[in-house]
Amino acid sequence: AERTWIPVPPDSPFPLENLPFGIGCRAAGGPTVAWVAFGDHAVDLDRLDADGVFASTGLRRGTFATGRLNDHLAAGPEVWSAVRARLLDVLTDPRSADALADAVSRRDELQMALPVETLDYVDFYSSLHHATNLGRLFRPDADPLLPNWRHLPVGYHGRAGTLVPDGTDIVRPGGLRLVDGAPLFGPSRRLDIELEVGTVVGVGTAPGHPPVAADASDHLYGMCLVNDWSARDIQAFEYQPLGPFLGKSFATSVSPWLVSFEALAPHRVEAPVQDPPVAGYLRTDEPWAIDLHLEVLVESAVMREAGIAPHVVSRTGFADMYWTPAQQFAHVVANGATTRTGDLFASGTVSGPEPGTEGSFIELARAGERPIDLPDGTTRTFLDDGDRVILRGWAGGDGTPRIGLGEVSGTIVPSPGG
């Protein structure tokens, strides 16, 4: 590995090969600007821009001072690559050490915000294993997959206004649920998570001229982690005939560091064979599956007070997702709809076929039949107040550079209504 003037611990999720961007400010105050994560540190991109580091890249001056990454993402793939190449130069040039020392901060001293301003958010349903698991739970006597599932990436339009950054407390939502067969308004008793990976649009699209999956590299910037918190009891009462609404829209947590598809390039693999063959607009020769390792960890309030480390309840992979980010993008615009810079496509819950690889509690605990044991001696079927959930994700490791998505967490706090 090339030597850098900022030390990077072995197996760091943020080595030189990653260089993910985020938005934050120093805890002591100061402006909210763009940063690049590097080992246990981060470098102020706006400061580098002010010093002329990116003068030859085509980047517009001041792009990293806006408090969101949208302007950089809108600049397109050539600028993204040029900025990344300059960062590689600067971080491996020992002459930069003194000149840029005050642009470096410890990552744990930054207060991170959402990385992009998102105007439209779409949640998909792209895992064959997840769709099959839920189909078996909800329709035990029928085919677990509905007839359309293998023909198009099923999704619904979410609420961008309730995307929240890492560490935001999640207030237990209220809504109508069936209690003893009658609808009753009150706090959700079946509060759940959804382990998801998000794809962020860099360059938007024009109305009426839809690109296809083969064009995705011209538009898609990178990935983050997403926890699409779900109130299963509210959802169960409301979702027919129009689908998810209040059971999903109260909070969706997004990780702070946006990892570019350029950094993930060594971990792109062939997607599963799709049978039956899909429509032409969904086809591409590029390998758009991403070989990610994902984990779900839970920490109860008792564990936190006792100093017990968060407990892994699920480990799963992303490489076998049936529908890819390129296909999700192509499907969103297939009817002539637009996408805009910062739009977020969430993958839908990522689950595997084996126990302990599921990305939601409704699957892990089989809708309450198979409680999950925690190290504090308690069990969970759904989330209790005080529970903190952490999602982690990375590609590589085991002798290759680990390209980390970092983590995203949230803690459940009681409903204001009790």
What residues contact residue 213 under an 8 Å CB cut-off, 6+ apart?
Answer: 281, 282, 283, 284, 288, 324, 326, 327, 329, 330
Q: Which positions are catalytic?
A: 130
Q: How far is CA 318 from CA 292, 375, 392, in A?
A: 5, 27, 12
| DSSP output for 76-104 | -HHHHHHHHHHHHHHHT-TTHHHHTGGGE
Q: Which two tokens stand for residue 190?
A: 């079946």
Residue 224 contacts residue 253 (beta carbons within 8 Å)? no
What is the separation, in whole angstroms, between the first and last Cα of the chain?
A: 54
In 3-state terms, what secondary structure has residue 280? helix
Q: Which strand (E) or helix (H) includes residue 330?
A: helix 325-333
User: What amino acid is encoded at 385 in this protein?
Assistant: D
Using only C-alpha atoms, the chain has a radius of gyration, in whole angstroms, of 21
- Omega cis (within 30) before 266: no
Residue 42 contacts residue 109 (beta carbons within 8 Å)? no
